[in-house]
Amino acid sequence: MNLEAPTYNNYCLPLISIFKRLAIITSILGLAFQSSTAQDTPNILLIISDDLGVDYSNGYHEGNGLMPTTPTLDELRSTGITFENAFAAPVCSPTRAAIMSGKYGNKTGVLTVPGHLELIHESIFKALENQTSGLYSDAVIGKWHLAEGNNLDHPQEHGVDYFSGVIGGGVQDYFSWNKVVNGVSSTSTQYITSELTDDAIDWINDQDNPWFLWLAETAPHSPYHTPPADLYTINNTDNERRKYVAMIEALDHEIGRLLDNIPADDLENTVIIYIGDNGTPNNILRNYPNRHGKGSVYQGGIRVPFLVSGAGVNRSGEREAALVHVADIYATILEIAGADLPGGKFNSLSFKHLLDGTDGSTRDYNYSETLMNDTLVYAIRDNRYKLIDNTENFQQEFYDLLLDSLETNDLMGNITIGEVSAIKEDFELEALQIRNAWSCRDHIQNGDEEGIDCGGTYCAPCITETTELETRNDCFQIFPNPVKNQLQLNASNKGTYTMTINDLKGNLINKKQFSGSEFSMEINDIESGLYILELYNFQSKETCISKFIKH
């Protein structure tokens, strides 16, 4: 069963409010590029919901069951881009650390909750300060959850100009909670979703410079409760599921109030990024199988709602299937603010080009990881398949997400030698590279690479000749690529072939002849690097050329 298609709820909202926001946000599409100053220095509003997965997010799932009415998020979706394949971590601290640092948990050490992001990692706030020479004012309002113990100054230590919210993982009572403002703690008795909105409105309206606001809502994280009556539309809240839906509606209402209270000219020059920090908790999970929600690396735990609208986004109401990761927000924000990055930074691949539909690289793989009972469990996928690996117990699951988006049919027992088996091995190699070094296939110049995905300690040498090798590989496929032990080659047609492997200097490494359309060989004796494979067809007199990497 595949539940990836969107669904839309009918809703009612005061017409003045909805048309005001629709007019303001829609005007962004026509005005974003008229002013070079605005283009270079847009405001950036990052909104993070807490424990809200795609199963309760309009525009992602079909299926039966109670859904919230979310007119504000629906507006953002209709005036911007819905990312269909966004990965987060399964729990909140690693997701926040990834956005803050542009790195996976294996680089920051934040793999579960609680987590502590060390100051050695350049936060998005310090990076923005350095890249723009202090042009931006910035703030975090809401949930931090990145500090060890009760360090109330941790946001400021990471370069945050202004902090207002909660340092820990949440609150015990949405109507009575411990509020921290720039290191000073007090008790608030105002509904937290509303008070965070008030703080955000006040802070934005007090800014004279371009600004970056990280608004980290605590909703709809437990404890589940009935919000103030004017913030939700659901008929009754007599159980946890209905309370949860009411909390989502209250969150949507307050995001709308925030947008309504941003001056029109500021809103026209603001890019709005909305994302969930992980999937829905298992006790109220919708559609997904039991235990496939928060805390797991199944789709229900790590696939999250992700919307981008506003300044610089000229794709209105479009859906984007490219793989993206919460870590990518780091590099994207820097490029929105004017930085010129070599693909991205650290594990963060910029998706800025997707906002206006220009050319650029997208992920070949999406990766997520967590610690479960002190054991590393990771998930890695491409545009179709996904591998889940419990690294200690050597338990693996393999899914075809195109046919089985809810991951109910584990293919592991049916994988045989061939293309799918090669894909699984390729996933294993890429995940190993990610965990122990830096990927050589992430389209980012990271680690000690000399260029994007080449040179340095881990990647194949960069091709430095003025004229790079022109390749034609439409008549055969190499997999896996990179290759670890065994190279598998599939030709498009049966025939008699000569297969030649040369290094980049033209030295002959190996030469074989075979008949048919499939060929495999052990290459354990070949050193790591980039190689050229030529395939000559005796019948057609045709030569095809491709590159491959030997790990």
> Please, is 270 exposed, middle or buried when counting C-beta atoms within 10 Å of its C-beta (0-12, 13-18, 19+)?
buried
pLDDT exceeding 90 applies to what percent of the chain?
Answer: 70
pTM above 0.85, yes or no: no
User: For residues 226 and 223, what is the distance between their CA atoms, to the nearest angstrom?
Assistant: 10
Q: What is residue 324's DSSP assignment?
A: E
The tokens for 172 are 């015990």
Question: CA nearest 200: which of 43, 408, 349?
Answer: 43
The DSSP bridge partners found for residue 473 are: none
Contact 224, 240 (CB under 8 A): yes
- Judging by DSSP bridges, how do beta strands 43-49 and 486-502 pair with one another? unpaired
Tell me, rounded to whole angstroms, the distance of Cα 438 from its chain centroid: 17
The tokens for 515 are 């008949």
Contact 387, 373 (CB under 8 A): no
Degrees (nearest 5) of the Cα angle 87, 193, 20?
85
Contact 89, 113 (CB under 8 A): no
Phi/psi of residue 101, each to 5°? -115, -15
User: For residues 377 and 381, what is the distance between their CA atoms, to the nearest angstrom?
Assistant: 14
The tens digit of pLDDT for each residue in 317-357 reads: 999 999 999 999 999 999 999 999 999 999 999 999 999 99
User: For residues 427 and 439, what is the distance between their CA atoms, to the nearest angstrom?
Assistant: 12
Q: Residue-wise pLDDT tens for the chain (551 aa)? A: 455 544 333 333 433 354 344 444 444 444 333 333 445 699 999 999 999 999 999 999 766 789 999 999 999 999 999 999 999 999 999 999 999 999 999 999 999 998 999 999 999 999 999 999 999 999 999 999 999 888 999 999 999 999 999 999 999 999 999 999 999 999 999 999 999 999 999 999 999 999 999 999 999 999 999 999 999 999 999 999 999 999 999 999 999 999 999 999 999 999 999 999 999 999 999 999 999 999 999 999 999 999 999 999 999 999 999 999 999 999 999 999 999 999 999 999 999 999 999 999 999 999 999 999 899 999 999 999 999 999 888 799 999 999 999 999 999 988 876 778 889 988 998 999 999 999 999 999 999 999 999 888 888 777 655 444 555 567 888 888 888 888 999 998 888 888 889 887 677 898 888 889 899 999 988 888 888 898 988 888 888 888 888 87
pLDDT value at residue 471:
58
Question: CA nearest 345: which of 81, 100, 85, 88?
Answer: 100
SS (HEC) of 274-316? EEECCCCCHHHCCCCCCCCCCCCCCHHHHECCEEEEECCCCCC
User: For residues 251 and 296, what is the distance between their CA atoms, to the nearest angstrom?
Assistant: 25
Q: Where are the beta strands (DSSP E) in 425-507?
A: 476-479, 486-502
Helices (H), 59-134: 71-79, 92-101, 105-108, 124-132
The tens digit of pLDDT for each residue in 67-77 reads: 999 999 999 99
SS (HEC) of 345-414? ECCEECCHHHHHCCCCCCCCCEEEEEEECCEEEEEEECCCEEEEEECCCCEEEEEECCCCCCCCCCCHHH
User: For residues 412 and 286, what is the distance between their CA atoms, to the nearest angstrom?
Assistant: 25
* Torsion, Cα of 55, 60, 62, 65 (10° steps): 30
User: For residues 221 and 279, what is the distance between their CA atoms, to the nearest angstrom?
Assistant: 11
User: For residues 227 and 215, what is the distance between their CA atoms, to the nearest angstrom?
Assistant: 19
538 residue type, one letter: F
Question: CA nearest 452: which of 358, 361, 390?
Answer: 361
Residues whose CB falls within 8 Å of the CB of residue 221, separated by 6 or more in sequence, listed in order: 50, 51, 170
Residues whose CB falls within 8 Å of the CB of residue 181, separated by 6 or more in sequence, listed in order: 163, 164
Residues whose CB falls within 8 Å of the CB of residue 449, separated by 6 or more in sequence, listed in order: 438, 440, 455, 456, 458, 459
- Spell out a b/e string for 62-87, using b for 16 or more CB atoms within 10 Å of the CB, else e: eeeeebbbbbbbbbbbbbbbbbbbbb
User: For residues 288 and 385, what is the distance between their CA atoms, to the nearest angstrom?
Assistant: 18
